[in-house]
Amino acid sequence: MSRLRRYGRPSPIAVAVSGGQDSLLALALAREQAVQEKRECVAVHGRFLPPTGVSIEREEEMARICKELKVQFLVADLVDTFYKRVIQPFVNEYLNGRTPNPCAHCNPVIKLGALLEYARIEVGADFLATGHYANTKWTKHGPALYRGKDPAKDQSYFLSLLKWNQLEKALFPLGELHKSQVPDELAKRGLTPPAPEESQEICFIPDDDYCAFLERTALKHHLELPGPGPVFLADGSLLGKHQGLWRYTLGQRRGLGIAHSEPLYVLEKDVETNALIVGSAQYTHRKGCTARQVNILVQPKHWPETVLAQTRYRQKAKPATAEYDRKRKELQISFLEPQGLPAPGQVAAIYDDTGRVLAAGVISA
């Protein structure tokens, strides 16, 4: 975080805190840096979901910890904003047959968007530190986003939609740490997180059961979820009936409820005909994909001939070629070897061999 010194005035550093291990250590490290640079450090908790007894207790515990650290603690009520900008689009994407990645959209829209803006208005903060495992470096062309040091925890994929002006304001104190180091670093500082357990994959979906969440949300907001429809094999043969396209994602094998002579996988969701297309493993690979809503972090003329493309979070990036069509505003990715089905709605991020994010977009086909 030494790059803060390039700015003349000592503006406060805001730190996004959730109550978990990672954000608490990020707060401690940011506070230590702020003390060295004679800056104020402020903890900002984003209230994204309607409060419950448990969440209020955690907020109170975070406030207590911040008091001990002599750090101001703020709570930003972003429940309505979070619903409109993250949850509602998530539901709409499923209704349109796609598999969205809400975390990748939350970072630019909420954390480095609404949350940082709240901190700017309240205390004049120009920077937001988070507990993500990623790195930024300053280059002559501006900020660059890199993978975190811990390959098992790297979260640059989720941050790949951040714009340049947001990366300028983003700090990732855990970027050079491994997850295994966090408990010891907290213990050395005498800190115990209010929520010691690992956070769930999608923060607003209990038990990671997105089908149950969609059903509850549809009922609450009077939305109509698409109903049953036909299931076809890749050759066009009618195989059975599905229970709603929103229950399935491309590449899915388990939970199809279809008896067949060999394992079947979801190959396509045809929203117009409400049909689910399935097939054997031989059909589950693609030579490439197209992404839209493209975020360019390195100008295409500087991309290497071979990039590393990642189309899901828990996936190793694979060698590919990439081309940005400026007229169509599309990112075309061609894998050097066929890969598992890229799911429309997920993020496709491309890297160079140093771990720098070159560009990212939302998979459309």
Q: Which residues are catalytic?
A: 106, 203
Instruction: Label residue 111 left, alpha or beta by phi (over 0 means left) and psi (-120 to 50 means alpha).
Output: alpha
Going by the DSSP 8-state scheme, the letter that residue 109 receives in this structure is I
* Rg (the chain; Cα; Å): 22
Q: Which of 94, 139, 43, 358 is nearest to 248 (CA)?
A: 94
Q: How far apart are CA 256 and CA 247, in angstroms?
A: 9
CA distance 362 to 364: 6
186, 177 in Cβ contact below 8 A? Answer: no
Residue closest to 299 by CA, chosen among 170, 146, 164: 164
Which residues share a beta bridge with 279? 265
- Cα distances (Å, whole numbers) of residue 242 to 222, 258, 268: 22, 9, 13
Helices (H), 135-286: 156-159, 164-167, 182-188, 210-220
Maximal CA-CA distance, the chain: 70
Q: Report d(CA 189, CA 25) in Å as an integer.
A: 9
- Cα torsion 208, 214, 216, 219 to 10°: value is 180
Q: Are strands 13-16 and 127-129 parallel, antiparallel or unpaired?
A: parallel
The Cβ-side half-sphere exposure at 309, using a 13 Å CA radius, reads: 30
Say how many C-beta atoms besides its own lie within 10 A of residue 60's C-beta.
12
